Amino acid sequence: MTDEKRGRVAAALKAVLNELDVELEWVNEEGARAFVEGDYRRIDQATARGKRIKAFGQSVADLQAGWEAFANGLAPSRQEALSHPPPSPSRPRQSAGTLREAYRVAILQALVDMGGKAKVAEVLTRVYEIIRDQLGEHDLATVPSGGIRWHQRAYGACYWMREQGLIRDDSPHGTWEITDAGRTLLAKARSDQ
């Protein structure tokens, strides 16, 4: 088996795990929305689905570990390995919760930097400048719907920030505007750093 084929299998398993992370994040957000709305049936459904996704993810992680052990058994000779050093490891991904907080703070910071109110595209440009060092390859990838993963997560963060009163929910379409509560949370986040 060639290194390329081994690498494609490893990449495919990693992609499955990444997509399961995205799905689990969506389920968590759906459960949170259901909780806010007091819809206990949807909370139970989201909980059950989240448990199934986590169990399936563990199965895929076990498969990935098995594949790595198998692939290592087929590793090239020591001489070949020395003549072709492995690529440097990519930056480890942050947990979804860590990134979600990073988006929230970055969006609030971008809005303050832009006078408190701006068009979404301008805010996203500024957010990228703020958090680009925290974004990994997975975050910068295009999702099946055609969007960029980190954009979708920023939109998701904005949705919850509206629910929490950090961004105005009556701003014109395509515009985000910080509230006093958002400014307070940003000041607290800065002081905690």
DSSP 128-172: HHHHGGG--HHHHSBPTTSSBHHHHHHHHHHHHHHHTTSB-SSSP
CA distances from 160 to 5, 34, 38, 104, 145 (A): 42, 13, 16, 9, 21
- CA of residue 56 relative to chain centroid, distance: 19
Length of the chain: 193
Cα 80 to Cα 65: distance, rounded to the nearest angstrom: 24
**According to the model, what pLDDT value does residue 167 have?**
94
DSSP state of 114: T
User: Are the C-beta atoms of 64 and 13 separated by less than 8 Å?
Assistant: yes
Which residues in the chain come in under a pLDDT of 50? 74-93, 95-97
Angle (deg, nearest 10), helices 40-73 and 3-37: 170
User: Are the C-beta atoms of 91 and 136 separated by less than 8 Å?
Assistant: yes
Q: Which residues of 111-129 are buried (b: 16+ CB within 10 A; e: fewer)?
A: beebeeebebeebbebbbe
**According to the model, what pLDDT value does residue 153 have?**
84
Query: For 3, what's the count of Cα atoms within 13 Å in the CB-facing half-sphere?
Result: 9
> Cβ of 159: how many Cβ atoms within 10 Å?
14
SS3 helix, strand, coil % of the chain, rounded to 5?
Answer: 75, 5, 20
Cα 69 to Cα 163: distance, rounded to the nearest angstrom: 46
Task: Identify the CA nearest to 153 among candidates 28, 63, 40.
Answer: 28
